[in-house]
């Protein structure tokens, strides 16, 4: 533990604060999907960079945890690297980029492709915890709407989508109903990831730093995406497969490769992609599969 930064408490936050946040988390787990207010602290990074998630992580992390941090599915982006290093320095925990090894995962915008297991905790960074805010600007009113199950307004948004785009065009932060009760914003994950939340064996915690709210989905909880009977919920699909690992069932990012219109689609989950490539390397040597249309374009 000698490599822990001197002068700071374990995991940066003081024990009283952690206790306060843990109480909020316990309440959030007890009432799935309900937004519990908490006294958010100033953190050494700006609002919008994950101040909520980092406080939740700091409160639940222990010395023997293995931490993974992802940003848009990638382990090597600035935000992910900084937060991982932050906890390596202030808590001295082991960090990893492998989903399977991690006991604690802090994420922004994605859920890992690999199915999470019992005993893992995933912490989401949430910019806007209130799904009803789009229709109702008053906090006092949205709380009442949650309390009284007045969720008609949520479908108005989906209705408008169909009217304007012919389908439900909301593609991220897609509203869900948790445990048949509260409507919840799943944070800006793509709706591709929504089905993963349903009945997930891992504990899901959500922290919104600016709005000072914590909410949770306990393991094996029902999470339904809202829809209409004649316009059922569906996830994004791609015509392409991943240009690096050939996966057809993962969430793909479009990457611009030059200024002449060249582009390729690759897995947004970097760990998932490299794991698949390593596996096929073992199997067939070179292993890297390039999509047919890329070669044709050259």
Partner 1 sequence: MNAALAIAPASPLLEVRGVGHFYGNRLGCQEVSFDLYPGEVLGIVGESGSGKTTLLSCLAGRLDFAEGRIRYDSRSDGLVDLATLSEAKRRVLMRTEWGIVHQNPRDGLRMGVSAGANIGERLMAVGQRHFGKIRAAAGDWLAQVEIAADRMDDLPMSFSGGMQQRLQIARNLVTGPRLVFMDEPTGGLDVSVQARLLDLLRRLVADMSLSVILVTHDLAVARLLAHRLMVMKGGHVVESGLTDQVLDDPHHPYTQLLVSSMLQV
Binding span for partner 1 by CB under 8 A among 54-62, 155-163, 182-190, 236-244: 155-163
Which residues share a beta bridge with 253? 266
- Exactly one of 1, 163, 292, 296 binds partner 1 (CB under 8 A); that residue is 163
Query: Least CB distance from residue 224 to partner 1, whole Å?
Result: 12
Does 153 participate in binding partner 1 (rule CB under 8 A)? yes
Does 198 participate in binding partner 1 (rule CB under 8 A)? no
Does 224 participate in binding partner 1 (rule CB under 8 A)? no
> Among candidates 54, 88, 91, 89, which has minimal Cα distance to 71?
54
Size of the site for partner 1 (CB under 8 A): 19
261 is catalytic: no
Catalytic residue among 40, 52, 209, 242: 242
Does 140 participate in binding partner 1 (rule CB under 8 A)? no
Does 45 participate in binding partner 1 (rule CB under 8 A)? no
Touching partner 1, residues 108-137 (CB under 8 A): 135
Query: Least CB distance from residue 135 to partner 1, whole Å?
Result: 7
Binding span for partner 1 by CB under 8 A among 1-9, 13-21, 67-75, 142-150: 142-150
Does 31 participate in binding partner 1 (rule CB under 8 A)? no
- Exactly one of 229, 282, 286, 298 binds partner 1 (CB under 8 A); that residue is 229
Does 230 participate in binding partner 1 (rule CB under 8 A)? yes
Query: Least CB distance from residue 179 to partner 1, whole Å?
Result: 18
Residues of the shown chain interacting with partner 1 in the complex, contacts defined by CB under 8 A: 135, 144, 147-148, 150-153, 155-156, 159-160, 162-164, 228-231
């Amino acid at each position: 533990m000698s490599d822990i930064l001197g002068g700071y408490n374990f995991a940066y936050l003081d024990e009283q604060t952690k206790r306060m946040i843990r109480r909020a988390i316990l309440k959030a787990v007890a009432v799935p999907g309900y937004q519990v207010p908490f006294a958010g602290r100033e953190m050494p990074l700006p609002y919008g960079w994950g101040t909520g998630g980092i406080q939740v992580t700091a409160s639940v992390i222990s010395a023997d945890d293995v931490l993974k941090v992802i940003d848009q599915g990638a382990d090597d982006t600035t935000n992910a690297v900084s937060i991982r290093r932050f906890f390596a320095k202030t808590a001295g925990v082991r960090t990893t980029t492998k989903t399977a090894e991690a006991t604690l995962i802090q994420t922004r915008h994605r859920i890992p492709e690999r199915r999470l297991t019992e005993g893992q905790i995933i912490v989401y960074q949430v910019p806007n915890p209130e799904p009803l805010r789009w229709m109702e600007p008053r906090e006092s009113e949205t709380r009442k709407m949650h309390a009284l199950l007045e969720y008609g307004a949520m479908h108005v948004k989906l209705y408008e989508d169909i009217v304007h785009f012919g389908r439900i065009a909301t593609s991220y932060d897609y509203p869900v109903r948790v445990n048949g009760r509260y409507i919840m914003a799943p944070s800006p994950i793509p709706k591709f990831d929504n089905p993963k939340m349903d009945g997930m064996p891992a504990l899901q915690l959500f922290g919104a730093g600016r709005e000072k709210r914590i909410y949770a989905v306990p393991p094996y909880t029902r999470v339904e995406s809202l829809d209409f009977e004649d316009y059922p919920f569906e996830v994004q699909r791609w015509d392409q497969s991943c240009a690096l690992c050939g996966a057809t069932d993962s969430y793909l990012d479009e990457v611009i490769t030059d200024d002449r219109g060249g582009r390729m689609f690759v897995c947004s989950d970097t760990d998932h992609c490299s794991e698949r490539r390593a596996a096929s390397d073992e199997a067939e040597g070179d292993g890297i599969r390039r999509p047919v249309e890329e070669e044709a374009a050259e």
